[in-house]
Amino acid sequence: MKRRLELNDQAGINVSRNFRSLVVEADGYENLSFGEKDCRNYIDKVRRLRLGTGDADAIQNYFVRMQKQNSQFYYVMDLDDESRLQNVFWADARSRAAYEYFGEVITFDTTYLTNKYDMPFAPFVGVNHHGQSILLGCALLSNEDTETFTWLFKTWLECMQGRAPNAIITDQDRAMKNSIEVVFPKARHRWCLWHIMKKVPEKLGRHSDYESIKTLLHDIVYDSWSKSDFVEKWEKMVGYYELQDNEWLKGLFHERNRWVPVYVRDTFWAGMSTTQRSESMNSFFDGYVNSKTTLKQFVEQYDNALKDKIEKENLADFNSFNATIACVSHFGFESQFQNAFTNAKFKDFQAEVASLMYCHTLFERSEGLISIFSVTENKKVFNKTQDIVFKVFLNEKDFELQCTCCLFEFKGILCRHILCVLTLTGKAESVPPGYILSRWRKDIRRRHTLIKCGFDHSARNPGLQRVNKACDAFYEVASTRINTEDDLSKVINWIERLKIELPCKNSSSKIVEQDGYVQNHMTRILDPLPTRCKGRPPSTRKTSKVDRIVKNKIARKKTQKRTQKSKTDQSQEEHEQTYSQTSGIVDNLAPFNPNKEYTNEENPDMQFDRGMPPYE
């Protein structure tokens, strides 16, 4: 039973549920020789043995051990003047390597509490080649002010070799905004649209015309076809409903370039539109950690949660290579994307192919080298169909295409309107390689997939550690030093000489595993003091007033159902007896920047007012 308690504890099952399962198995409390308190004491003792005494010391020992297993493991512990832990940041070697491929767009969110010190878990989250959330580093913070965020962003930037993201999504936190402007001055900073629209009932709910305002605001935000169209509609709404003095609306309009879809669609966001990527990563840790989780418990559960995330990515890789999705058309470009994209991204592209039936294309005019086409799409908006006209610009000389819907700029997937033009002009056999983003390809061997994580006990194998270090060194040479064919020949000749100089050991020779030894003379770090962060309650998630109302209604309905069921069961027992039932690999490609490809300063004819809302 002791072994089962330990395993359940490592799996994130709390002591109460752990003990109740033992009671059920033993067929009653009287058949157990110990109580729940004994279980709790035993688990606490095991945790101390497993992770050491003291949360701050335990997390420091964990980091040192991880760094010894892989020198690319990165961590920073921020201490106050009394050597008490304030903030901590870490990124495993796999996350750092993944950033090379998926670091152009990130989301950052701190609304998730995960331990008894009320230190928000702050993950940096990106999107991998399957469209899945991927962790790119994380932190536990004791405060949420400008100084703390500035420290964190600088630390994360140093961890990622000084390479800043092109775009970042956060909530409306002013301290975050200030820090991003300092640390990432060139990054496009976008606010989470979902968080903003969620505040509408709270900010405008008392207005007598609230329902009309809510519907109109939704239409203005999501269905504005150009910036001028948005401004015109917004001003009409504010004037008609006399909302000129509403400070919330005034602030949103002033910062409209940070959240309104029509203002941000010209930037590559990898399909992300909100911080829900971070929140989905946060929710992924639900079941592993809770508001009472200590730091030393968290770091161990972090490994368990990360393992599941990596297994899902590995499964998606396997399926993309071994399961082919059939084409829905005879167009050559569909087969081209079928062979190149992962299954998830090919499905996104295939949705655009399937929507060709709703589009009608007409050639409008030529302006120099640019041919302009009008594509009318019969689109469904709020259960109503309407015809929306998009403009597609084609430079036949350089084979460059651009659409006013900006789906490619926003998501990296060619839109149905561009595909319509390709079919009309007889160019449906294939598209230029620049339109097949390397970040969505399945035929690239990405370095992060070769790196073992801290949860993998094989990482403690000295032989495998030597292999990993050699791979890191070889990768650095291959990615930064080989610029010509002559360089490549030198490296290959050098490797051939090494094969002769270094004897080849028998692969069956036994390698003795050794656990990493953590030095005992490290600086002693004190546990952090419990803190209360800005408005974050000591629970697993921050909930709005609307969420609480809905949750209470659902709870009341469930209670009523249980009461009604209880009465029914009681009545049935009086009349009848009831019974219960149980029952192909290519070389690494440099990340493609779609924005750079479409910055056509040499051809001013290509500049136009992008007038359609993006695919949010």
Query: Among 4-8, 471-475, 558-562, whose mean pLDDT is lowest?
Result: 558-562
CA distance 59 to 398: 55
pLDDT, residue 91, reads: 92
CA distance 353 to 374: 18
Torsion of CA 110, 113, 119, 121, to 10 degrees: -50
pLDDT, residue 549, reads: 63
Q: Does position 591 have pLDDT exceeding 60, yes or no?
A: no
Mean pLDDT value of segment 457-483: 70
The DSSP string of 95-150 is HHHHHHHH-SEEEE---EE-STT--EEEEEEEE-TTS-EEEEEEEE-S--SHHHHH
Tens-place pLDDT, residues 58-87: 788 888 888 888 888 999 998 877 787 888
Q: CB of 451 within 8 A of CB of 70?
A: yes
Q: Which domain holds residue 9?
A: 2-51
**What own/partner pairs with CB < 8 Å and gap ≥ 24 does 314-320 have?**
314/449, 316/130, 316/132, 316/342, 316/343, 316/344, 317/130, 317/342, 317/442, 317/449, 319/343, 320/130, 320/344, 320/442
Of 258, 278, 305, the last residue of a domain is 258
The overall average pLDDT reported for the chain is: 78
Residues 302 and 430 in one domain: no
Give the list of residues 6+ apart from residue 16 with CB closer than 8 angstroms, or none: 36
Residues 232 and 357 in one domain: no
Q: Residue 396 falls within a domain, yes or no?
A: yes
Residue of 63 and 273 predicted with greater confidence: 63
Angle at 412 between CA 411 and CA 414, to 5 degrees: 105
Tokens of 368: 């120099």
Question: Closest by alpha carbon to 306, among 9, 12, 8, 7?
Answer: 12
Residues 179 and 135 in one domain: yes
Residues 345 and 297 in one domain: no
pLDDT, residue 603, reads: 38
pLDDT, residue 118, reads: 63
Residue the block writes with tokens 């004190």: 526
Q: Residue 46 falls within a domain, yes or no?
A: yes
Residues 136 and 280 in one domain: yes
pLDDT, residue 329, reads: 94
Q: Does position 493 have pLDDT exceeding 80, yes or no?
A: yes
In this structure, what DSSP letter does residue 36 have? H
* Residue 367: strand pairing partners: 370
pLDDT, residue 111, reads: 74
CATH code of the domain in which 79 resides: 3.30.420.10
CA distance 148 to 141: 8
Q: Does position 512 have pLDDT exceeding 50, yes or no?
A: no
pLDDT class of 431 with cuts at 50, 70, 90: very high
Residue of 137 and 274 predicted with greater confidence: 137
- H, E, C per residue of 306-318: HHHHHHHHHHHHH
Could you tell me the CA-to-CA distances from 275 to 18, 170, 191, 192, 477 in Å, in that order? 34, 6, 8, 6, 36
Q: Does position 350 have pLDDT exceeding 90, yes or no?
A: yes
pLDDT, residue 451, reads: 80
CA 155 to mean position of chain CA atoms: 20
pLDDT, residue 467, reads: 72
Residue of 560 and 339 predicted with greater confidence: 339
Q: CB of 191 within 8 A of CB of 172?
A: yes
Q: CB of 415 within 8 A of CB of 405?
A: yes
Q: Does position 517 have pLDDT exceeding 50, yes or no?
A: no
Of 241, 258, 275, the last residue of a domain is 258
pLDDT class of 178 with cuts at 50, 70, 90: very high
Residues 279 and 142 in one domain: yes
Q: Residue 103 falls within a domain, yes or no?
A: yes
Residues 163 and 277 in one domain: yes
pLDDT class of 7 with cuts at 50, 70, 90: confident
Q: CB of 147 within 8 A of CB of 174?
A: no
Q: Does position 514 have pLDDT exceeding 60, yes or no?
A: no
Q: Residue 437 falls within a domain, yes or no?
A: yes
Residues 361 and 292 in one domain: no
Tokens of 94: 């796999």
Query: Among 164-168, 173-177, 187-191, 474-478, whose mean pLDDT is lowest?
Result: 474-478
Torsion of CA 554, 560, 565, 570, to 10 degrees: 150
pLDDT, residue 298, reads: 75
Query: Among 237-241, 289-293, 408-412, 531-535, whose mean pLDDT is lowest?
Result: 531-535
CA distance 427 to 401: 12
Tens-place pLDDT, residues 381-421: 667 788 889 999 999 888 999 999 999 999 999 999 999 99
Mean pLDDT value of segment 94-121: 82
Q: Residue 547 falls within a domain, yes or no?
A: no
The beta-strand segments (E) located in 296-368 are 359-367
Report the domain count for the chain: 4
pLDDT class of 554 with cuts at 50, 70, 90: low
Residue of 517 and 153 predicted with greater confidence: 153
pLDDT, residue 508, reads: 35
pLDDT, residue 593, reads: 42
Mean pLDDT value of segment 160-177: 93
Q: What is the β-pairing status of strands 370-381 and 384-395?
A: antiparallel
pLDDT class of 193 with cuts at 50, 70, 90: confident
Angle at 174 between CA 170 and CA 180, to 5 degrees: 60
Share of the chain above pLDDT 90, in %: 38
Residues 107 and 144 in one domain: yes
Confidence (pTM): 0.69
pLDDT, residue 185, reads: 95
Q: Residue 417 falls within a domain, yes or no?
A: yes
pLDDT, residue 511, reads: 29
Most confident listed range (135-139, 179-183, 293-297, 367-371): 179-183
pLDDT, residue 524, reads: 59
Query: Among 40-49, 331-340, 505-514, 552-561, whose mean pLDDT is lowest?
Result: 505-514
Residues 174 and 234 in one domain: no
User: Which secondary structure element, helix H or strand E, spans residue 216, and what is its range?
Assistant: helix 210-223
Q: Residue 554 falls within a domain, yes or no?
A: no
pLDDT, residue 343, reads: 96
Residues 69 and 188 in one domain: yes
Residues 167 and 222 in one domain: no
Q: Residue 369 falls within a domain, yes or no?
A: yes
